[in-house]
């Protein structure tokens, strides 16, 4: 597709269950980012992938959060043993990844996660 | 914190008026970007201004950057009801990450 896509658009889960969120970046974009946005708040950086380099995981809030990017394209964000405070919109973005002014990020529509 | 901070948090204006939003930050930047978000979902990139630029225009948008004051402003001229959204500034540092502020919620009243 022409833009970043994410699935599912909405996910409701029970506390303690694991969830997987998927992101398909724009073709050719080497950089991929995950953010979390709680209600009425700004974006919280979670993790950043750039090409084949080791990801920048500095934003992951706990070891329950992990992400993979297979084949340099699709990424999956996994949250294990979900907690109610994990409820948020999870946004994925991709960019050409060169930084220095080429770092414009293109966002997907997000996945709204609700943990009951 | 490296993130940008927007001011005001909320702004309500009449259609046709101009809207000005400000962003302040604390670190050195490569560039500063403004994004728009409707209904709490995906963000749309509006404009990017590099650290060596002082002003940039795009349609009804005008962005200024003052690196000595570590601040930027976004001006939307002749506002429309469809401009109602949240507006975020984001700073790009050498880390290739964007650090977002908490946003300004703009309401344009028809």
pLDDT in tens, A52-96: 888 889 889 999 999 999 887 999 999 999 999 999 999 999 988
Which chain B residue is nearest to residue A96, measuring alpha carbons?
B96
Say how far apart CA A19 and CA A26 lie, in whole Å. Answer: 23
* pLDDT at position A51 over 90: no
Q: How far is B96 from chain A (nearest CA, A)?
A: 5
% chain A with pLDDT above 70: 93
How much is the mean pLDDT over chain A? 90
Q: How far is B80 from chain A (nearest CA, A)?
A: 23
For B92, which of A56, A103, A107 is closest by C-beta distance? A103
For B50, which of A4, A37, A101 is closest by C-beta distance? A101
Contact A56 B97 (CB under 8 A): yes
pLDDT of residue A5: 95
Q: Which residues pair with B49 in a beta bridge?
A: B32
* pLDDT at position B77 over 70: yes
- What's the Cα-to-Cα distance from B28 to each of B20, B25, B84, rounded to whole Å? 23, 9, 31
- What's the Cα-to-Cα distance from A70 to each of A49, A67, A77, A97, B7, rounded to whole Å? 11, 10, 12, 17, 40
Q: Return the SS3 of A36.
A: strand
* pLDDT at position B39 over 80: no
Contact B31 A103 (CB under 8 A): yes
% chain B with pLDDT above 90: 72
Please state the φ and ψ torsions of residue A86, each to the nearest 5 degrees: -80, -10
For A106, which of B40, B45, B99 is closest by C-beta distance? B45
Is A42 within 8 Å of chain B by CB? Answer: yes
Say how far apart CA B108 and CA B21 lie, in whole Å. Answer: 13
Say how far apart CA A44 and CA A38 lie, in whole Å. Answer: 8
């Amino acid at each position: 597709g022409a833009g970043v896509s994410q699935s599912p658009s909405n996910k409701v889960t029970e506390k303690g269950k694991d969830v997987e969120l998927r992101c398909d970046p724009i073709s050719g974009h080497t950089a991929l980012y995950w953010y979390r946005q709680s209600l009425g708040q700004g974006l919280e950086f979670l993790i950043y992938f750039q090409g084949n380099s080791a990801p920048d995981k500095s934003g992951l809030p706990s070891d329950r959060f992990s992400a993979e990017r297979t084949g340099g394209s699709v990424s999956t964000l996994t949250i294990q043993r979900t907690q109610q405070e994990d409820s948020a919109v999870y946004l994925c973005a991709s960019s050409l990844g060169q930084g220095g002014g080429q770092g414009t990020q293109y966002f997907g529509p997000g996945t709204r996660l609700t943990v009951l | 914190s490296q993130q940008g901070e927007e001011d005001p948090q909320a702004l309500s204006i009449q259609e046709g008026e101009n809207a000005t939003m400000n962003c302040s930050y604390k670190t050195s930047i490569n560039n500063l970007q403004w994004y728009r978000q409707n209904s709490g979902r995906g963000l749309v990139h509006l404009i990017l201004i590099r650290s060596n630029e002082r002003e940039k225009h795009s349609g009804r948008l005008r962005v200024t950057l003052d690196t000595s004051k570590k601040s930027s402003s976004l001006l939307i001229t002749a506002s429309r009801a469809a401009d109602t959204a949240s507006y975020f500034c984001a700073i790009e540092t050498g880390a290739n990450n964007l650090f977002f502020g908490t946003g300004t919620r703009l309401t344009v009243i028809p």
